Structure 1
Amino acid sequence: MTGPYLLQPDPLHPGLSTAVTGIDQNGNAVDTKVVTEKPLTLFLNAQEVVTMMTIGDHPDLLAVGYLKNQNMLADDDVITGIEHDDDLDVVIVRTERETNFEEKLKKKVRTSGCAQGTVFGDVMEGFETVSLSTDARLKTSWLYSLTKAINTTPSLYLEAGAIHGCVLCQEDRPLVYMEDVGRHNAVDKIAGWMVLNDIPAHDKMFYTTGRLTSEMVIKTVMMGIPILVSRSGFTAWGVELARQAGLTLIGRARGKRFVALSGQERIDFDLDPGSVEDEPQKIRRKGSLAAK
Structure 2
Amino acid sequence: MPDNADEPGDYLIAPAPQGPGLTRRVTGRDQTGAEVEIPVVEERPLTIYLNGQEIVTAMTIGDHPRYLAVGFLRNQGMLGDGERVTAIDFDEELETVVVRTALQTSYEEKLRKKTRTSGCAVGTVFGDMMEGLEGLELPQTEVRASWLYTLARKINTTPSLYLEAGAIHGTVLCQGDRPLVYMEDVGRHNAVDKIAGWMFLEDVPPGDKILYTTGRLTSEMVIKTALMGIPVLASRSGFTAWGVEIARQVGLTCIGRMRGKRFTCLAGDARLLRDIDPESVPEEDRKSRRKGAGA
Structure 1 length as normaliser, TM-score?
A: 0.96
Look up the SS of the partner of 2:131 in the other structure.
Answer: helix
Q: Following the alignment from structure 1 to structure 2, what is the Cα–Cα distance between the partners of residues 191 and 214?
A: 17
Look up the SS of the partner of 1:126 in the other structure.
Answer: coil
Moved over 3 A (4+): 283-289
Distance change >3 Å, CA 288–CA 229, structure 1 → 2: farther
2:90 counterpart of 1:90: no
2:56 counterpart of 1:50: yes
Is 1:232–1:288's contact at 8 Å kept on the other side of the alignment? no
Instruction: Tell me the residue number matched to 2:4.
Output: none
2:154 counterpart of 1:149: yes
Q: Following the alignment from structure 2 to structure 1, what is the Cα–Cα distance between the partners of residues 125 and 58?
A: 12
2:180 counterpart of 1:170: no
Is 1:209–1:287's contact at 8 Å kept on the other side of the alignment? no
Same amino acid, percent of matched pairs: 66
Shift of the alpha carbon at 1:145? Answer: 0.4
Shift of the alpha carbon at 1:162? Answer: 0.3
Is 2:167–2:292's contact at 8 Å kept on the other side of the alignment? no
* Residues 217-264 of structure 1: CA deviation (Å, up to 9, x unaligned): 011001000000000000011001100110000000011110000000
Instruction: Tell me the residue number matched to 1:249.
Output: 254
2:244 counterpart of 1:223: no
Instruction: Tell me the residue number matched to 1:269.
Output: 274
1:107-256 residue pairs with structure 2 within 5 A?
107-134=113-140, 136-256=141-261
Instruction: Tell me the residue number matched to 1:30.
Output: 36
More moved, 118-127 vs 10-19: 118-127
2:84 counterpart of 1:78: yes
The letter for the 2-side match of 1:250 is: I
Unaligned runs of 5+ residues in structure 2 are: 1-8
Q: Following the alignment from structure 2 to structure 1, what is the Cα–Cα distance between the partners of residues 246 and 93?
A: 40
Compute the RMSD of aligned alpha carbons: 1.2
Q: Following the alignment from structure 2 to structure 1, what is the Cα–Cα distance between the partners of residues 133 and 70?
A: 18
Q: Following the alignment from structure 2 to structure 1, what is the Cα–Cα distance between the partners of residues 138 and 256?
A: 19
Unaligned runs of 5+ residues in structure 1 are: none
Q: Following the alignment from structure 2 to structure 1, what is the Cα–Cα distance between the partners of residues 292 and 265?
A: 19
Look up the SS of the partner of 2:155 in the other structure.
Answer: helix
Q: Following the alignment from structure 1 to structure 2, what is the Cα–Cα distance between the partners of residues 207 and 158?
A: 17
Shift of the alpha carbon at 1:171? Answer: 0.4
Q: Following the alignment from structure 1 to structure 2, what is the Cα–Cα distance between the partners of residues 11 and 88?
A: 24
Look up the SS of the partner of 1:233 in the other structure.
Answer: coil
Look up the SS of the partner of 2:167 in the other structure.
Answer: coil
Distance change >3 Å, CA 106–CA 67, structure 1 → 2: same
Shift of the alpha carbon at 1:289? Answer: 4.8
Instruction: Tell me the residue number matched to 1:15.
Output: 21
Q: Following the alignment from structure 1 to structure 2, what is the Cα–Cα distance between the partners of residues 62 and 99?
A: 19
Paired residue total: 287
* Residues 62-105 of structure 1: CA deviation (Å, up to 9, x unaligned): 00000000000011211000001111110000000110000111
1:106 to 107, 112, 116: 112
Q: Following the alignment from structure 1 to structure 2, what is the Cα–Cα distance between the partners of residues 205 and 8?
A: 16
Is 1:45–1:92's contact at 8 Å kept on the other side of the alignment? yes
Is 1:231–1:287's contact at 8 Å kept on the other side of the alignment? no
Distance change >3 Å, CA 158–CA 284, structure 1 → 2: closer
Q: Following the alignment from structure 1 to structure 2, what is the Cα–Cα distance between the partners of residues 27 and 84?
A: 44
